[in-house]
Amino acid sequence: MFNKILIANRGEIAVRIVRACAEIGIRSVAIYTEPDRFSLHVKSADEAHFMGEDPLAGYLDPRRIVDMARETGCDAIHPGYGFLSENAEFAHICEQAGIRFIGPSGDVISKMGDKTAARASMIKAGVPVTPGSEGNLASRDEALELAEKIGYPVMLKATSGGGGRGIRRCDSAEDLHYAWERVISEATKAFGSADVFMEKCVVDPLHIEVQILADSHGNVIHLYERDCSIQRRNQKLIEIAPSPQLTPEQRTYVGEQAIKAAHAVGYENAGTVEFLVRDNEVYFMEMNTRVQVEHTITEEITGVDIVREQIRIAAGETLAYRQEDIQYHGFAMQFRINAEDPKNDFLPSFGRITRYYAPGGPGVRTDTAIYTGYEIPPYFDSMCLKLVVWAMTWDEVCNRGIRALNDMRVQGVKTTAPYYQEILKHPQFRGCHFNTSFVPNHAELLNYSVKRHPEGVALAIAAAIAAHAGL
């Protein structure tokens, strides 16, 4: 087992990894840039080292991070998610320096990060994929010709894309004509590559992803699926495990296909295989070669500590579980609490947290790096915490979610929490009849009114009295 791990990330996922290290008895090393000087991951780790004034550069320089790991005596690096977590060069540099990258090999990251190469691997393995281009598209004219063949609507996607960026739905030749330059521009800015490909658009599908674990001894298991259909502009908002919409046969099938996909590319460590499901049709979409933001809900229904298993696998140990050991119980739901104003087109709401209170009670978990007095910097993702609830039945988990969201207090910034309560109350959601079009099809849910809690009113009155007394 490792002695010391450098965490090449920030925020809640860095805190999550620090906790996993502490439970195994491994020392943790955090890195930070100036805006994160007072961040919780800096306070929580055994050591923390400054990476410069620039908010992003210190988290995005693979050679400097590896040098820091060597200087601090680390024998492994955990990349978390985002930043360099799916950067093949980073994995290769770690290998060259004799430091274990806690994730798959650079070659696998490169293969699965290239969406056209990933499609080719899945086709070869017999995993179903959506009709589309066999490789990258050379020109807009080629794209228009292919779209006529496979039929509209189509999805134009960045080959190196992810996180909902570099992707556009085109319902007509006119849409495709205008989307072409935009997707190329987004792909170049976000991923450093202008390569794009095309897939047939599966209309109103379920977005289903399967969590897998694979060790270096050829063992692969799945931890069942998550339903990520509640999303806005391809950005996930609420995730559920297991999906309340899959049949037992579909659940078995997607699990088998995920394992087949992992074997096909020689996968190692934790990963996620994503599918689009409509009726009885299942299509491979992509593979994420890292821990997912929503790994929490899989942990809740299976009892498996995914981050701990990542570390064990990277250390060369065999999986602690066989497939027959994995059972799921109840339902878990994760809410991405973003510092955004849903009523103002989800505009970011960065600023100082004047009060934070985490909800509790049975089946409630919060993963976060915020605290009262923390200043949310404007340089990073707007997600400030993940609220996770678990219960034995679907109705119970929905009710627990409403209660926990109502109990939670994040004051000083606007968040998406009130909006999620409206989603949980909607009869279509409660009846398990939703897909990726739920959010755009229910714009009326944004017409909620924010209820002021008694203590919030009392604080406002006290502040007004204090201000008046100061006069």
Catalytic residues: 290
To the nearest 10 degrees (0 to 180), the angle between helices 140-150 and 173-191 is 120
Phi/psi for 99 (5° steps) reads -115, 135
Q: How many other CB atoms sit within 10 Å of the CB of residue 66?
A: 23
Q: How many other CB atoms sit within 10 Å of the CB of residue 163?
A: 16
SS (H, E, C) 163-199: CCEEEEEECCHHHHHHHHHHHHHHHHHHHCCCCEEEE
Q: Is 258 left (phi over 0), alpha (psi -120 to 50) or beta?
A: alpha
SS3 of residue 315 by DSSP: coil
Question: In the 8-state DSSP scheme, what is residue 347?
Answer: E
354 contacts: CB under 8 Å, gap ≥ 6: 372, 373, 411, 412
d(CA 471, CA 459): 19
In 266-306, where do the E strands start and end? 269-278, 281-288
Q: Are 14 and 24 in contact (CB under 8 A)?
A: no
Q: How many other CB atoms sit within 10 Å of the CB of residue 220?
A: 19
Kindly tell me the burial class for residue 214, based on how many C-beta atoms sit within 10 Å of its own C-beta (0-12, 13-18, 19 or more): buried
d(CA 455, CA 436): 37
Q: How many other CB atoms sit within 10 Å of the CB of residue 61?
A: 18
The amino acid at 60 = L
If you compute the radius of gyration of the chain from its CA atoms, what whole number of angstroms results? Answer: 22
In 63-123, where do the E strands start and end? 76-78, 100-101
133 contacts: CB under 8 Å, gap ≥ 6: 116, 143, 146, 197, 198, 199
Q: Are 80 and 310 in contact (CB under 8 A)?
A: no
Place of tokens 């491994």: 26
Tokens of 40: 């919780």
Q: How many other CB atoms sit within 10 Å of the CB of residue 250?
A: 19
Q: Are 360 and 403 in contact (CB under 8 A)?
A: no
